Structure 1
Amino acid sequence: MEKLYIFDLDGTLYEGTDHFDYYAERLATSVAEEKRLEYWNDYKKMKNGNHTVQIGKGYDVANDATLTIDAMTLEVVDAHDWDGNKLPAIISLYKNKEIQFDFEKIIAIGDGWWLPFVCAKHYGVKNCYPHYLETKDYMSSEKFNLDKISGLKEGLLKLKQKNKVVLITNSDKDDVERLMENLDLTNIFDEIISSAKKPSLTTEHFKKLQHNNKISYKNMISIGDNFMNEIAPALLLGIKAVYIAEHKAPITHRDLTHIHKIGPWIKQLT
């Protein structure tokens, strides 16, 4: 085995955002009717990058505070209320502390799933999980069209000829199996780690893979669209990282490659 490639799933091995909007629609049914217009206006601003809540930040549910986080140290460097006003008290609360994401009280806004979730929380929705399940049911129906990435399967199969390919995802086992079937990627990966609880357990997963495969960190590559989940933990261990995002990466690093799409990258790699 020459190298170990570690792939994320959502936002990495398939594209499209229709399911995020569907989730937002389902959540809207639990928002008080008189607040729904505000909910939709804020959600649209988030999607366009015109709101204090943005991908790459954190969210303190109890304090309704958006947290700007140093992706490499996981320390809070700034905090704002819903309208963008600075919150010195919240900044002091987290000073010199590594933030612990639990996905209930402290949210890592790592991808498009979390924008409608945070918006719904702000507007008083107590339990978002039933609507998440509704969205997952929608994604398994004929109504949902998954955007397959041209050349991805062929690229992964070529990588496997000399390397090992692993999938680490926060999705649960049933979701992963269904998505693998829909993407025609069943039996491609040498190992699949589901319900991974990234970013909290990302480093632990990487260390275990390194130990079990008896490979050096410099020969491992983490590929994903979530900087906090897949990229920063890799760079801190000396693992190379490939960040998939339309927007600029938050840092520059000798072991970091920034790409807009995975398709062209994997084609040139193989």
Structure 2
Amino acid sequence: MQQDRKERAMYIFDLDGTLYEGTAHFDYYAALMKQELPAEWQKAFERDYEQMKRGEHAVKIGTAYDTEQDTILEVDPFTSRITAVKSWSGEKLDASMYTDGPQEFDFEQIVAIGDGWWLPFACARHYGIRDCQPFYHETKRFMGTESFQLKKIEGLPAFLKQLSDVFPTVLVTNSDAEDTNRLLGELNMRSIFHKVVPSAGKPAATATLFEELINEFGHMPQTVTSVGDNLMNDVAPALRLGMRGVFIGTSVKSGDRLEQAETMSEWMEREKHRISRYVR
């Protein structure tokens, strides 16, 4: 039975937007940067950001933003190949300036818009804010105050503890060690995971990290599941390695080795049923 369990599963989880819910912190981040702009640009910033959140702007989750060219790249998340290039206003542009192969993402020029953190970032860069880091750190500081309430997911700590009693579980997050430890404490998850990897540098480092974890824990890729709300950071790299991916969101459909759930609670209930013969 122990060998069967080891071969059956290992889980890698994202933190922000996966192990807690809510979008108020993204709006706070956006508001900080909007206030830095000249008054005549603030309404345009707010209009664009609200359109992004509704999926009505060229910049949307699942695209990438070129901060130097001020262009939006539509990307196949599973191959990282550019499928279209658009202007800020949504006009289609010539894509020949970009490589024909898989696109490399970073945090400076070609930025993957993988979750809600990156919508305010793209909006701010378009309107001339060169350095978003101070506003990001201020938002993280705000998230650690009594004024901010994390939207916890009912039953998740108990489920993860149950899971970790049977299967290896790893947390891989772009948050730094201090933020990660604080958030895990607030979520009652500090002692759950077998390994925590902060400052992970996703998506650029995702594939390398996943390969290292697979080797460290001695699992085959097909037995490892990556769970996250960021398609390009957490899910697509896993699928390319032959792993199972679970996307928490609404923009993709389930397929071969890919599972989609609108909420973490939805996936949790499904997974409880799937692993019921292993977990007491």
Decide which of 146, 150, 154 is 1:150's aligned counterpart: 154
Which structure 2 residue ranges, 5 or more long, are not aligned? 1-5, 273-280
2:251 is aligned to 248
Deviation at residue 189 of structure 1 after TM alignment: 0.6
Report the counterpart of residue 265 of structure 2 in structure 1. 263
What is the CA–CA distance in structure 2 between the aligned matches of 1:233 and 1:28, rounded to whole Å?
33
* Partner-residue secondary structure (3-state), 1:241: strand
TM-fit CA distance, 1:76: 1.1
User: Is 1:29 aligned with 2:29?
Assistant: no
2:227 aligned partner: 223
TM-aligned CA deviation for residue 34 of structure 1 = 1.2
Give yes or no for the alignment of 1:78 onto 2:84: yes
Match of 2:62, SS?
coil
Query: Which of residues 53, 56, 60 in structure 1 aligns to 2:66?
Result: 60
Separation in structure 2 between the aligned mates of residue 237 and residue 215 of structure 1, nearest angstrom = 13
TM-score by length of 2: 0.92
Instruction: Indicate the SS of the match to 1:62.
Output: coil
CA-based RMSD: 1.2
Helix, strand or coil: the match of 1:93? coil
Secondary structure at 2:92 match in 1: coil
- Residue correspondences, number: 266
Superposed CA deviations along residues 224-262 of structure 1, whole A, max 9, x for unmatched, are 1111111111111110111110x230x653111111111
* Aligned equivalent of 1:189: 193
TM-score in terms of structure 1 length: 0.96
231-240 vs 91-100, which moves further: 91-100
Q: What is the one-letter code of the residue matched to 1:266? A: M
Please state how far the C-alpha of 1:53 moved relative to its aligned partner: 0.6
* Alignment-mate amino acid for residue 152 of structure 2: K
Q: How does 1:110-259 map to 2 (within 5 A)?
A: 110-245=114-249, 247-249=250-252, 252-259=254-261
Aligned partner of residue 6 in structure 1, secondary structure? strand
C-alpha displacement of 1:263: 1.6
- 1:92 is paired with a residue of what secondary structure? coil
Amino acid at match of 1:253: G
The amino acid that maps onto 2:138 is E
Q: Distance in 1 between matches of 2:251 and 2:157?
A: 27
* Letter matched to residue 187 of structure 1: S
> Runs of 5+ in structure 1 lacking a partner?
none
> Residues 99 and 121 of structure 1: is their aligned pair in 2 closer, same or farther, counting only changes over 3 Å?
same
Residues 254, 260 of structure 2: 8 Å contact kept: no
Q: Aligned partners of 1:112, 1:105: CA distance in 2, in Å? A: 18
Which of 111, 116, 119 is equivalent to 1:107?
111
Runs of 4+ in structure 1 deviating by more than 2 angstroms, as ranges, are 267-270
What's the CA shift for 1:19?
A: 0.3
Shift in Å, 1:125: 0.7
The answer to whether the 8 Å contact 1:151/1:267 transfers is no
Deviations 1:83-109 (A, max 9, x none): 111111xx1011413212111111100
How far, CA to CA, are the matches of 1:146 and 1:184 in structure 2?
A: 12
| Distance across 1 between alignment mates of 2:251 and 2:121 | 24
Q: 2:51 aligns with which of 45, 49, 55?
A: 45
8 Å CA contact 1:75, 1:94 repeated in 2: no
Distance 1:14 1:252 in 2: 22
- How far apart are residue 194 of structure 1 and its match? 0.8
Give 2:191's aligned amino acid.
N
